[in-house]
Chains A and B, each alone.
Chain A
Amino acid sequence: MNRILSKSQNIENSTNKRHRKEKRFKSLCLGAVIVAILFLIILLSSLAYKGLSGFTKTTIQIPIYFNEEIIDPENTRDIAVINKASFRKIFKQSLLQKFPEAKDNRKMYRNISKIFSRGSTYLLKKMVLDDISLIGKTINVDLISSSTIDQLRKNNINIKVPESDRPVSDATLKIYDQLNTEGVIKKRLNFSFFKYGDSRNPEEAGILGALLGSMFTLIITLLLSFPIGVLTAIYLEEFAPKNKFTYFIEININNLAAVPSIVFGLLGLAIFLNFFGLPRSVPLTGGLVLTLMTLPTVIISSRASLKAVPPTIREAALGLGASKLQAVFNHVVPSAAPGMFTGTIIGMARALGETAPLLLMGMVAFIVEVPTSIFDPATVLPAQIYLWADSPERGFVEKTSAAIIVLVLFLIIMNSLAIWLRRKFEVRW
């Protein structure tokens, strides 16, 4: 069949070769797409693999005797007295009761106490302050384990290697096994991860501070960049005369969109912090810098959606005797609004993931307190990730990945919202 159509043997021979080349090229291109998607899968799955365990914690149940003689010997039940009491002693007493063999063995006691989080004594104190009737009683308390034990339970520590090469000693391991057979070691969802700020101890560190910091920063960014961006877009698209000056503004905006984010950090450092003397490490200044960074995105997408509104709408409004401003604000802007919102949300999502300029604005400090306003020192979610990623403790790895999962989740929500908005309210002319 081919023979009949082909013009000469010569061409037919060469076509086979050409078709092979074609196939090779096509599979090469497909390969590139597959590699790119594979990267995405590897990235996300490695994060999920490392991070999902960060949402659980390990607790160890032991009986605690709230010895009245230590907490409140004079039976005053005064909060000040309880606050001053040594809960370390309570803790030690209860531990020694559980492990009597450690009584005269300081090294062994140290090993045992290392199983528990360093915050355990605070937890006990808080329990008593919440419920004074506990004093004098013995109850089973689920104490949070130390990060090392947590990692041990999650099989993140290789116990086959020699003792000197791993963070748990043989003695600790023995105690762990003993507790494990007793069935007091339990896995729980780590809600405190969302309830507390940063901490030096991985098992106590939470992202609430960073989440609120990000929220305050984004609020500032949104409140400033949306009105300014939209007004700029409306001016440039609808009112600005087409002259050199307008062109200069446009060039500026396009270039600002591509300026590396770290340069905005330098700008913020030199102008906001150094020249204007605004406070460091607070969401206010962080938000200001992110505003400058987000503005071009908002302006460009708002202009695009204004451009998509056909001129007939403007002419119709003008023809009814509306002023130019009325035509624009009553008719053009409402039809362009979904596009503007979409652009703003995408800009906000980018601002949420941005780290570099905030590093220079001092938003990477170790801050335990949860911020309550835009003037409180705070850190943001990506900066928290950076801080934790830099920490040497093994326990912070899963915290970092867990925080990344939270961040990516927020980004997915924001982007889906943008896509939904675009689909739902998009007007086709």
Chain B
Amino acid sequence: MNTTLLTILIISLSIFAFYYAVYKIKSAQSLNTKHRPLHSYYGWYCLFWTIFPALLFFCLWTFCSSIWIDKTIINIITLSINEEGATNISLQLNAIKNAANGILTDQVPKEILSNYISLNQKSEFIRFIATLGIAIIGLFFLIRKINPDLRARNKIESILMVLMFIASFIAIIVTLGIVLSLLFETLKFFSDVSPFEFFFGTTWSPQIALREDQVAASGSFGAIPVFTGTLLITIIAMCVAIPIGLLAAIYLAEYASQRTRTIVKPLLEILAGIPTVVYGFFAALTVGPFIRNIGETFGLSIASESALAAGLVMGIMIIPFISSLSDDVISAVPNSLREGSYGLGATKYETIILVIFPAALPGIIGSILLATSRAIGETMIVVMAAGLTAKLTANPLESVTTVTVQIVTLLIGDHEFDSSKTMAAFALGLTLFIITLILNVIALKVVLKYREKYE
């Protein structure tokens, strides 16, 4: 009854459908030679109606039946444990599921387990038979319809159009999914914790709320220190990335020979292509201790998870974003402006500072905004190299935490999904999403306007 067998059966059915349809239309057309459209369209048409409804049913059934089985099992669990109180039904359900998959974590009641397994088996059996049945019905229905009067090409084309439309709709669904899921959890969070406390409170210690049944375990969710921590690290990163990235872009666009460009640009792209987890490792193991040691020689006590280390490495990561975007922008400044300036006897420096830079400024600002949004949303570097405790400080030598770090620490591992702790992560996520969205929209607008100006 496994899925592999089902897959093989469906695939062989569809291959049969394709070739049988082609065979049938060929033999039908030999009688009627008036018009002979491409045969393969009939094959594809037949194949589509064999696979598609079956696949749709398979997915729907899998989804619905798993929900239905969960509900049944939860009912049984609630009935069976009345004296212990309904502590953790979902945890129990997980334990049963794990046990069914062969991973024994906790003790699970035997009868519920067997109940679960038998329900699952029944559901899978029905799924197997019905999916196969639907495929066969589809096949036979279509084979009967195959004749030269059927305009298979038009049908295939409309199917393709529908598929393409659905595909392009996914982008909207994803955005909607992000907004709704974040908003939903955030609103739940704000019914527990007031938005005022969240946005203006200065103590962030969600870790107190370990379990729901703890007394006075609400934790405190004032996110100001988290925001300032993010801001601090972002500022440090941009202080590193903007000058280096911008000057490098100017060098590449204005000074470098073609050969230098072809060597240096890919090197910078490597810097951009290195996974952030690698930067995080580098920050935590090399840069952090290095900065601390330097501090020690000057008699400064620097936290090993200092904002400086995380910001510095993040800055390195951002350099290629700024340099490549700004390089494009500077190169897009029309050459006539350069010549006009050189023709008046200006040096390259004067031309760059007085003519090219002002002309490219909107585009450069756009690229900086995009880079900032990336720095704010960057996760792995800060998770590995920045601190966990929220501290309200502007000192780069101390350890601070960021929005992304908090999201990860609040949500990593097994947890109760409905506690304020997890919902706080979604509130942070929504804030992050909105801020980066605003930055991105402005940046894209600015860059687009700039491009229009010089194209």
Query: Residues of A with Cβ closer than 8 Å to B?
Result: 18-19, 21-22, 25-26, 28-33, 35-37, 39-40, 43, 46-47, 50, 227-229, 231-232, 234-236, 239-240, 248-249, 252-256, 258-267, 269-271, 274-277, 292, 295-296, 299, 323, 325, 329, 349, 352-356, 359-360, 362, 364, 382-383, 385-386, 389-390, 397, 400-401, 404, 407-408, 411, 415
| Residues of chain A with a CB closer than 8 A to B164's CB | 231-232, 234-235, 239
Distance to closest chain A CB from B280 (angstroms): 7
18 contacts between A and B (CB under 8 A): A33-B248, A33-B251, A229-B167, A253-B171, A255-B175, A260-B373, A260-B377, A267-B174, A267-B177, A267-B178, A267-B182, A292-B174, A325-B161, A352-B275, A353-B273, A356-B408, A362-B413, A389-B384
Q: Do A256 and B175 touch (CB < 8 A)? A: yes
Residues on B with C-beta less than 8 A from A408 are 274-275, 278
Taking a contact as CB atoms under 8 Å apart, the answer to whether B408 and A249 are in contact is no
- Partner of A248 from B172, B347, B425 at Cβ < 8 Å: B172
Check A260–B376 contact: CB distance below 8 A. Answer: yes
Name which of B23-31, B192-200, B219-227, B264-272 contacts chain A. B264-272
Q: List 4 additional contacts besides A32-B247, A266-B407; criterion CB under 8 Å.
A: A40-B271, A296-B171, A355-B380, A411-B274
State A275–B63 Cα separation when bound (angstroms). Answer: 11
Q: Which DSSP category, helix, strand, loop or mixed, fits chain B's interface? A: helix
A interface footprint on B248-283 (CB within 8 Å = 1, 0 otherwise): 101110111000000010011011011111111110
B residues touching A (Cβ–Cβ < 8 Å)?
63, 66-67, 70, 153, 157, 160-161, 163-165, 167-172, 174-175, 177-178, 181-182, 184-185, 243-248, 250-252, 254-256, 264, 267-268, 270-271, 273-282, 284-286, 316, 319-320, 323, 347-350, 352-353, 370, 373-374, 376-380, 383-384, 404, 407-408, 411-413, 417, 425-426, 429, 432-433, 436-437, 440-441, 444
Residues of the B chain whose Cβ atoms lie less than 8 Å from the Cβ of A32? 243-248, 251
Chain B residue with the shortest CB-CB distance to A415: B273
Question: Once the chains bind, are A37 and B267 in contact (CB under 8 Å)?
Answer: yes
Q: Indicate which residue in A26, A232, A234, A271 contacts B171 across the interface (CB closer than 8 Å).
A: A232
Q: Which residues of chain A have C-beta atoms less than 8 A from B178's C-beta?
A: 259, 263-264, 266-267
Q: A76 to nearest B CB, angstroms?
A: 30
Q: Which of A36, A47, A354, A415 contacts B320 (CB 8 A)?
A: A36
CB distance from B250 to the nearest CB of A (A): 5
- The distance from the CB of A357 to the nearest CB of chain B, in whole angstroms, is 9
- Chain B residues with CB below 8 A from A36, complex form: 244-245, 248, 268, 271, 316, 319-320, 323
How many angstroms from the CA of A270 to the CA of B176 in the assembled complex?
A: 13
Q: Are A252 and B172 in contact, CB atoms less than 8 angstroms apart? A: yes
A361 shortest CB reach to chain B, Å: 10
Instruction: Check if A386 sits within 8 Å of B384, measured CB to CB.
Output: yes
Q: Which residue of A lies closest to B278 (CB)?
A: A404
Report, nearest first, the 7 A-B pairs whose CB atoms are least far apart: A260-B377, A353-B275, A32-B247, A29-B251, A270-B181, A356-B379, A235-B164
Contact residues in B for A25 (Cβ distance below 8 Å): 348-349, 352-353
User: A141 → chain B, closest Cβ, in Å?
Assistant: 33
Given contact pairs A36-B320, A252-B172, A295-B171, A46 touches B432 in the complex (Cβ within 8 A): no
User: Which single residue of chain A is at the shortest CB-CB distance from B436?
Assistant: A260
Which residues on the A side are within 8 Å of B432 (C-beta)? Answer: 260, 262-263
Chain A residues lying within 8 Å of B182, measured Cβ to Cβ, are 263, 266-267, 270
Residues in chain A near residue B285, CB distance under 8 A: 50, 389, 397
Instruction: Tell me whether A236 and B247 are in contact in the complex, defined as CB-CB below 8 angstroms, given that A36-B319, A353-B276 are known contacts.
Output: no
Residue from the list B280, B353, B408, B417 in contact with A360, Cβ < 8 A: B408
Q: Nearest chain B CB to A256's CB is how many angstroms away? A: 6
Tell me the minimal C-beta distance from B37 to chain A in angstroms: 11
Q: Is the CB of B319 within 8 A of A411?
A: no
| Complex contact B275–A355 (CB within 8 A) | yes
Could you tell me if B412 and A364 are in contact, using CB atoms closer than 8 angstroms?
Answer: yes
**When the two chains form the complex, which single residue of B67, B172, B440 contacts A249, counting CB atoms closer than 8 Å?**
B172
B251 & A30 in contact (Cβ 8 Å cutoff):
yes
User: In the complex, what residues of A have CB within 8 A of residue B320's CB?
Assistant: 36
Whether B264 contacts A33 by the Cβ 8 Å rule is yes
A295:B185 contact, CB within 8 angstroms: no
Instruction: Give bound CA distance, A358 to B146, whole Å.
Output: 47
**Residue of A275, A355, A400, A407 contacting most chain B CB atoms (<10 Å):** A355
Nearest-CB residue, chain B, relative to A384: B277
* Contact A360 B412, beta carbon cutoff 8 Å: yes
Cβ of A360 to closest chain B Cβ, rounded Å: 5
Expressed in whole angstroms, the Cα–Cα distance for A242 and B247 within the complex equals 40
Chain B residues with CB below 8 A from A275, complex form = 181
Given the known interface contacts A31-B247, A354-B275, the answer about A269 and B282 at a Cβ–Cβ threshold of 8 Å is no
Inter-chain contact A270/B284, CB cutoff 8 Å: no
A residues less than 8 Å from B378 (CB atoms): 260
Is B244 a contact partner of A232 (Cβ separation < 8 A)?
no
- What residues of B have a CB within 8 angstroms of the CB of A263 in the complex? 178, 182, 377, 429, 432-433, 436
Contacts of B247 in A (CB 8 A): 28-29, 31-33
Query: Are B171 and A256 in touch, CB under 8 angstroms?
Result: yes
CA distance A232 to B299 in the complex (A): 59
CB distance from A416 to the nearest CB of B (A): 11
- A26 in contact with B276 (CB, 8 Å): no
* Interface residue from A22, A239, A270 paired with B347 (Cβ < 8 Å): A22
Q: Contact: B280 with A47, CB < 8 Å?
A: no
Give Cα A39–Cα B317 distance, bound, in whole angstroms. 10
Indicate which residue in B276, B281, B377 contacts A400 across the interface (CB closer than 8 Å). B281
Q: Are B380 and A26 in contact (CB under 8 A)?
A: no
Report yes or no: B250 in contact with A29, Cβ–Cβ below 8 A: yes
Contact B429 A385 (CB under 8 A): no
Q: Which chain B residue has the least Cβ–Cβ distance from A346?
A: B273
Cβ of B108 to closest chain A Cβ, rounded Å:
17
Nearest B residue (CB) for A235: B164
Whether the Cβ atoms of B281 and A262 lie closer than 8 Å is no
B431 to chain A, nearest CB (A): 11
